[in-house]
Structure 1
Amino acid sequence: MTKLFATTALVASLALPALAVQPAEGELLAESQSFAFWLPDAVGTLDPARHAGTETADLLRQLFEGLMNEDATGAMVPGVAESHQASEDGLSWTFHLREARWSNGDPVTAGDFVHAWRRVVAPATQSEHARVFQLMNVANAARIAAGDIPPEELGVSAPDDRTLRVSLAAPTPHFPKMLSHPATFPVPRTVIEAEGEDWTQPGKLVGNGAFTLQDHDPGAEITLARNPEYWDAGGVVMDSVRAVTVNDITAALARYREGELDRVPIPAGQFPHLRQQFPDHAVALPVACTYAYVYNLSDKGPEALKDVRLRRALSLALDRDRLVNDVLQGGQRPAASWTHWAIEGFAPPETGPGQAERTARARQLLAQAGRGPDNPLGLVLQYNTDENHKLLAVAVRQAWKELGVDLALNNLDWRTHAERMESQDFDIARYAWCADYNAPAAFLDWFRSDGPNIGKWSNAEYDRLLAEARTAADPAPLYARAEAILAEEAPAAFLYHYARAEMIRPAIRGLPTESATGNWYAKDLYRLAD
């Protein structure tokens, strides 16, 4: 049987609740509203303070809800907090909580957030997510994590049950962007105190999310059911969610084809033909990471790379379309910027002229720098062991050879590669950076003079722009100018933006396909009739 979703006010009010999810007019909803997705391995714990892995975080976003959620583009939307405001100096944030309840019927209070945040940063918890609060610049987070002062001195307080106040050590525009991280979710203090380490087991776990834990068979399956105590339970369409552990990706794909799973990863190398065979199923989802070849501009780096004309020539000569379409074949996108194209609020720059024109310009710049086939430039590209890294390096070596650049390849194990990058013992190094939060600064801060950039490029105007962006009402123009400086100065060659190739059943609607974080919420999903 199926359900017809009509948008008229009369039918909606009589037949269905006021849905937060908005199916298109006339869509047929499946009678059974269920969603099954792949887990690569057993889930160790469903404790927001101690969880590990992206897939576990996906489960936690169904079982718990923080101050803010994300929409399909990655923009922040209200969660438990109905509204919030920041002080003029950006050092204080106040959140006003809606009336929400835990799955056992108890009210969710601001004190639950205070307890949860202190618990994460407390050294006794041994949470790897204490760094989240340091990235958010929550006052005293670093000192507490180091064991210098007690957790009670964290910059978070609850003036009353419906008000949460956060103090920051410095203005932090990306602060609200991080409030969808599971480490910031509230936890039920009384339940944890009563149940101890077993509090996350089925029948004991109490959450405030749109779903509850029904069953957990480690290494096999986790089942969630709609939570009737959720504050917007009437707007949730999906009845159940299943996470199925399949250790082998090829086996997971087979189970997808059999109809058991609704979302699975695509094995390496299979995306092109699956995209052609099943265009409605095979998708490339953004992953907020950018792949680059970083030039060593420190005193230990090659003198030739100090010439910006040469650096720009090397970057221009790379046919990124060929690299992603013919070499990688995994749905990646050519990089026209350091910031990933899907970062919320970022407008990617124009791609510019075609590759033939770019290569011609590269030859001109090399000639102006006194280099070319008659005066070849010798460089070494260092990369860590990986077949894709090798394939890309070979393709780049050939592209640069045509310009008169002799590129030697140096393949190292990851540890040695990392050590040599940190000590600036390289010419050009393969590198990738992944955003900690969904804002351009998560990428752009890497190239600050005091940032972690291994090439030691430095630009005073770039630093000034990013410093100004921290307190700007609208930092987007400043970020755009900073990105333009990177294009002009070419401290690295940006090759491609990461993607994740997956099979997603077309009947499942509501999963984000252009969000840099990829965070999804089953409360926003619905299933169409086959």
Structure 2
Amino acid sequence: MKKNNFLVLMMLLLLSVVLVACNFGGEEETTDDSGTTTDTDTTTDDSSGGDKELNLVVASEPPSLHPQLATDTTSSTIMSSTHEGLMTLKNGEPVPGVAESYKMSDDQLTYTFTLRDAKWSNGEPVTAEDFAYAWEFALNPANASEYATILYAIKGAEAYNLGTTTSFDEVGVKVIDSKTLEVTLESPTPYFLELTAFKTLYPIHKATAEANPKWYTEADTYVGNGAFVLSQWQHAGSLTLEKNPEYWDADNVKLTKVNIEMVESETTQMTKFESGEIDFLGTNYGKISLDAIERLQSEESLNIVDYSGIYWYKFNTTDDVMKNANIRKALTLAIDRAGLIKNVTKGEEEPALGMVPNGVEGFGDDAGFFKDADYEGAKAALDAGLKELGLSDPSELNLKLSFNTSDAHAVIAQYIQEGWNKNLGINVTLENAEWQVYLDKLSSLDYQIGRLGWIADYNDAYSFLEMYNSADNGNNDTGWSNEEYTNLLKQSTTETDPAARLDLLKKAEEIIIAEFPVAPIYYYTNLYVVKDYVTGMEPDNLGNINLKDVDVTK
């Protein structure tokens, strides 16, 4: 019996030698669409030798796949796979990305990052200069990056962005050599490493951007440094991501291709998931239709996890009517948040009675700044507002509530519209627009009341408050500003005592809530469904899903 086993073993060994000699497995030459010949290791994919494809949806065309110009979650979701920062997030915590290591000075002001041997998708090395170039692009006022303020933690960044200084040499970003980047901060910033994982701090391939300023608008000119390459982009139709063979950790990327279809309707998205056309639905890859939530819960297939985000209505405070704080207050108090959650959203959200979600450290330990569905308070504020506007009856108000095209946003708007009409006697019309058009309307203050959601860029209260530090902040979209509010936020950036810093942020929250440039509605939860053959797609509390960690086992 032992002899027979030995003979079988020897035959198998000889057969494996023959297979390798004939190039079955191991490396083979393949030619891409451009005619370039590359070496591909076919043994790193599925153990069965087949490709691993993941099928997803997003709700719309990504408005911009430029890391320093993008402001929305759809674009961010795509770029999280095509780009990588100095650090990346794993389970919500910063871990090394392009930076192999870093050192922090004793005073917590200077970070020195050492880059690993990472490459761009075109095969060229990722350098410290690529990071400095990208950050300068974001801060250069000529580029109007709406997220430039997220870099203000860096010494001299605000002055450069505001044009007070004109030389980037005065900003605390120094290229020591091709593999070493030194960053000096204005003051200790406890979430700075998280910032280096955010899209605005992603690197740009300098040579590509200088040769073609529109490099980010088409798949065939797109250069990234992430786990996946943008291989196809059918505008307003679909995107395709393919495993990036140049990625420094490519051996641990299990998926070979990700097909992403653009589907606006949540009902259609849900149908595609249930028919097996897509493998995951929720987070930033589509949205579960509201009419399916209770059924999915009863089937025990719906996942509901924490999400550091808020759903709110913004008010255009430059509008002739919405500039009145009492009108804004009346509209905010007259929203029945608990009823909305129970009867419409049904996703275990919490009524938002402040600007910062309860899950953020130091917040959520009180009853909020106002009462939910406070119709008495709303009517008192409305009466005062009408008097200030020279009006005598609520019916004289004709307001417009705008939202981006979505089944869910439409139903939520209808619920709130009905409540405002019933409880305040105000006439409200609804208006929807495609995502990019809608964002442009908000940015140009071409609206009265507009829906937006905000997911924390980093899990700190400052992420929810900072966008309103001035009317010029690219993410403000309300025209509102308050000098005391701005000063409190500035003080919080230099305050090193955590308790004192928290107190400054809470005082700032009190000020903005008192003037109601926005109406908080509910704090998000994250709802998703996933096929049982997909693993690694559990979102963290910021909604991040790293496709690098995803596997398909069917």
Q: Distance in 2 between matches of 1:385 and 1:160?
A: 50
**Counterpart residue type for residue 176 of structure 2:** P
Q: Does 1:443 align with 2:464?
A: yes
SS for the counterpart of 1:470 is: helix
Show CA shifts across 1:44-75 (max 9, x none).
875545667533432322222111222333x4
Which residue number corresponds to residue 493 of structure 2?
470
Cα distance 1:192–1:281, how it changes in 2: closer, same or farther (>3 A)? same
How is 1:186-197 mapped onto 2 (pairs within 5 angstroms)? 186-190=203-207
Q: Distance in 1 between matches of 2:147 and 2:127?
A: 22
For residue 339 of structure 1, report the CA deviation from its aligned partner.
1.0
Q: Does 1:68 align with 2:87?
A: yes
For residue 446 of structure 1, report the CA deviation from its aligned partner.
5.9
For residue 198 of structure 1, report the CA deviation from its aligned partner.
6.2
Show CA shifts across 1:417-450 (max 9, x none).
x99x989x99xx7775636732311323467698
Cα distance 1:365–1:247, how it changes in 2: closer, same or farther (>3 A)? closer
For residue 158 of structure 1, report the CA deviation from its aligned partner.
0.5
Which residue number corresponds to residue 54 of structure 1?
73
Q: Would the aligned equivalents of 1:63 and 1:207 in 2 still touch at CA under 8 Å?
A: yes
For residue 490 of structure 1, report the CA deviation from its aligned partner.
8.3
Show CA shifts across 1:126-159 (max 9, x none).
755x333343225356756879846666542211
Cα distance 1:383–1:442, how it changes in 2: closer, same or farther (>3 A)? farther
Cα distance 1:41–1:304, how it changes in 2: closer, same or farther (>3 A)? closer
Q: Distance in 2 between matches of 1:456 and 1:54?
A: 24
SS for the counterpart of 2:146 is: helix
Which residue number corresponds to residue 38 of structure 1?
57
Which residue number corresponds to residue 419 of structure 2?
395
Q: Distance in 1 between matches of 2:261 and 2:477?
A: 38
Q: Which moved more, 1:78-87 or 1:147-156?
A: 147-156
Show CA shifts across 1:374-397 (max 9, x none).
xxx987795524643342143356
Q: Distance in 2 between matches of 1:302 and 1:133?
A: 27
Which residue number corresponds to residue 531 of structure 2?
505
**Counterpart residue type for residue 546 of structure 2:** Y
Q: Please, which of 434, 451, 468 is the counterpart of residue 454 of structure 2?
A: 434
Which residue number corresponds to residue 22 of structure 1?
none
SS for the counterpart of 1:165 is: strand
Which residue number corresponds to residue 524 of structure 1?
549
Which residue number corresponds to residue 118 of structure 1?
136
Which residue number corresponds to residue 245 of structure 1?
261
**Counterpart residue type for residue 471 of structure 1:** T
Q: Distance in 2 between matches of 1:502 and 1:198?
A: 33
Cα distance 1:95–1:326, how it changes in 2: closer, same or farther (>3 A)? same
Q: Would the aligned equivalents of 2:139 and 2:157 in 1 still touch at CA under 8 Å?
A: no
Q: Would the aligned equivalents of 1:212 and 1:225 in 2 still touch at CA under 8 Å?
A: yes
Q: Distance in 1 between matches of 2:513 and 2:121?
A: 54
Unaligned runs of 5+ in 1: 1-28, 372-376
Q: Distance in 1 between matches of 2:270 and 2:377?
A: 49
**Counterpart residue type for residue 272 of structure 1:** I
How is 1:128-527 mapped onto 2 (pairs within 5 angstroms)? 130-137=145-152, 138=154, 139=156, 143=160, 149=166, 155-167=172-184, 175-190=192-207, 207-216=224-233, 219-227=237-245, 229-234=246-251, 236-249=252-265, 250-264=267-281, 265-266=286-287, 268-276=289-297, 278-281=299-302, 286=307, 288-291=309-312, 319-329=336-346, 332-341=349-358, 345=361, 347-349=363-365, 382-385=399-402, 387=410, 388-395=412-419, 398=422, 401=423, 406-411=424-429, 434=454, 437-438=457-458, 439-445=460-466, 466-473=489-496, 474=498, 477-478=502-503, 481-482=506-507, 485=510, 494-498=520-524, 502-516=528-542, 518-527=543-552
Q: Distance in 1 between matches of 2:313 and 2:379?
A: 21
Q: Distance in 1 between matches of 2:324 and 2:136?
A: 50
Q: Distance in 1 between matches of 2:520 and 2:118?
A: 45
- The higher relative CO (CA closer than 8 Å, separation ≥ 6) is in 1
Q: Would the aligned equivalents of 2:219 and 2:232 in 1 still touch at CA under 8 Å?
A: yes
Q: Distance in 2 between matches of 1:88 and 1:381?
A: 56
SS for the counterpart of 2:55 is: strand
Q: Would the aligned equivalents of 1:134 and 1:142 in 2 still touch at CA under 8 Å?
A: no
RMSD value over aligned CA atoms?
A: 5.5
Q: Distance in 2 between matches of 1:118 and 1:449?
A: 21
For residue 209 of structure 1, report the CA deviation from its aligned partner.
2.0
Cα distance 1:413–1:283, how it changes in 2: closer, same or farther (>3 A)? same
Q: Distance in 1 between matches of 2:549 and 2:185?
A: 32
Q: How many residues align?
A: 468
SS for the counterpart of 2:148 is: helix
Cα distance 1:147–1:214, how it changes in 2: closer, same or farther (>3 A)? farther
**Counterpart residue type for residue 470 of structure 1:** T
Q: Would the aligned equivalents of 1:121 and 1:144 in 2 still touch at CA under 8 Å?
A: yes
Q: Would the aligned equivalents of 2:205 and 2:224 in 1 still touch at CA under 8 Å?
A: yes
Which residue number corresponds to residue 80 of structure 1?
98
**Counterpart residue type for residue 288 of structure 1:** G
Q: Would the aligned equivalents of 1:156 and 1:166 in 2 still touch at CA under 8 Å?
A: yes
TM-score, with normalisation over the residues of structure 1?
A: 0.66
